[in-house]
């Protein structure tokens, strides 16, 4: 489950084993994942790429505990979320995961500050006004936008608020579904830089789903999917770097 690299011991944060997912539409069975295996280590930045309908989003939702697989296993920090109850899966999601979506998914009735605070409250940490939160907000360049409602923010700003909301509880894994899909190239670059910084400065483990080659290039490792299967591991800078270090 873990790997010794020199004196550094890196945990397996996500382990996916023979994951299968079949959607049932009336009497029709539609396979979305056909036996997916991979591991994501602590502090790794992984991009999952592939054409539409290849099962990327299903994979992300399964890792995030939003869906239950038809068969196979997903371990989050050693805990199998595919076999626990709905209540426990929600608890893992609350304590260990952060989500970023293509369409930002901020609550329009709340300000940026309140959107972020809500994530903190749902996690049960009360107020978000602590030192680490300020650091993150400063890093995301949101300090002056905190009292704005989502519609008063640009797409890039909204996505940065969504990232802040996702990482405010210091989750073990940040799952991002097409985080730059609705942004122009400048804002895309800014968001990707921030994800990169979160990963390199805070050691945040990140898995992103993307069509964007630039976004994929930001990651340490790229997993390519097609027809519900992993084709190959295109790039593994993370392992390369670790190996080089060791």
**Exposed (0-12), middle (13-18) or buried (19+): which is 226, by Cβ within 10 Å?**
middle
Minimum separation from the CB atom of position 96 to other proteins (A): 9
Minimum separation from the CB atom of position 40 to other proteins (A): 19
Q: Is 90 in the site for other proteins (CB under 8 A)?
A: yes
Minimum separation from the CB atom of position 7 to other proteins (A): 34
Count of chain residues binding other proteins (CB under 8 A): 27
Minimum separation from the CB atom of position 162 to other proteins (A): 10
Q: Return the H-helix or E-strand segment holding 194.
A: helix 185-202
Q: Is 81 in the site for other proteins (CB under 8 A)?
A: no
The residue from 87, 144, 151, 244 that contacts other proteins (CB under 8 A) is 87
Report d(CA 138, CA 57) in Å as an integer: 30
> Which of 92, 70, 90 minimizes the C-alpha distance to 79?
92
* Residues in 113-152 that interact with other proteins by CB under 8 A: 114, 118-119, 121-123
The residue from 45, 101, 128, 238 that contacts other proteins (CB under 8 A) is 101
Q: Is 20 in the site for other proteins (CB under 8 A)?
A: no
> Which of 145, 148, 52 minimizes the C-alpha distance to 102?
52
Strands 8-25 and 2-5: antiparallel
Sole window of 94-102, 125-133, 183-191, 204-212 interacting with other proteins (rule: CB under 8 A): 94-102
Minimum separation from the CB atom of position 97 to other proteins (A): 7
3-state secondary structure of 13: strand
Q: Is 232 in the site for other proteins (CB under 8 A)?
A: no
Q: Which residue has the tokens 């910084």?
A: 197
Q: Is 182 in the site for other proteins (CB under 8 A)?
A: no
Residue burial 52-72, b: 16+ Cβ < 10 Å; e: rest: eebbbbbbbbbbbbbbebbeb
Nearer to other proteins by Cβ, of 87 and 244: the residue is 87
Nearer to other proteins by Cβ, of 14 and 222: the residue is 14
The strand pairing partners of 36, in sequence order, are 19
Q: Return the H-helix or E-strand segment holding 17.
A: strand 8-25
Interface residues toward other proteins, by CB under 8 A:
61, 64, 66-67, 86-87, 90-91, 93-95, 97, 99, 101, 105-110, 114, 118-119, 121-123, 165
């Amino acid at each position: 489950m873990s790997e010794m690299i020199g004196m550094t011991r890196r945990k397996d944060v996500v382990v996916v084993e023979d994951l299968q997912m079949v959607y049932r539409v009336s009497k029709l069975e539609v396979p979305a994942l056909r036996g997916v295996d991979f591991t994501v280590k602590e502090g790794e930045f992984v991009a999952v790429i592939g054409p539409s309908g290849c099962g990327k989003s299903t994979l992300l939702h399964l890792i995030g505990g939003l869906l239950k697989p038809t068969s196979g296993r997903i371990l989050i920090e050693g805990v199998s979320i595919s076999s626990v109850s709905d209540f426990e899966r929600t608890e893992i999601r609350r304590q260990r995961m952060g989500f970023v979506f293509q369409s930002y998914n901020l609550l329009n009735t709340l300000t940026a500050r309140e959107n972020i605070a809500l994530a903190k409250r749902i996690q049960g940490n009360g107020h978000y006004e602590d030192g680490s939160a300020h650091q993150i907000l400063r890093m995301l360049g949101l300090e002056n936008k905190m009292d704005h409602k989502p519609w008063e923010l640009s797409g890039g700003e909204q996505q940065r608020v969504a990232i802040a909301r996702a990482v405010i509880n210091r989750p073990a894994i940040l799952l991002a579904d097409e985080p730059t899909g609705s942004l122009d190239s400048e804002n895309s670059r800014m968001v990707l830089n921030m994800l990169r910084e979160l990963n390199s400065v805070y050691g945040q483990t990140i898995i992103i789903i993307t069509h964007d080659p630039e976004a994929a290039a930001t990651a340490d490792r790229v997993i390519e999917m097609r027809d519900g299967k992993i084709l190959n591991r295109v790039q593994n800078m993370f392992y390369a770097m670790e190996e080089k270090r060791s």
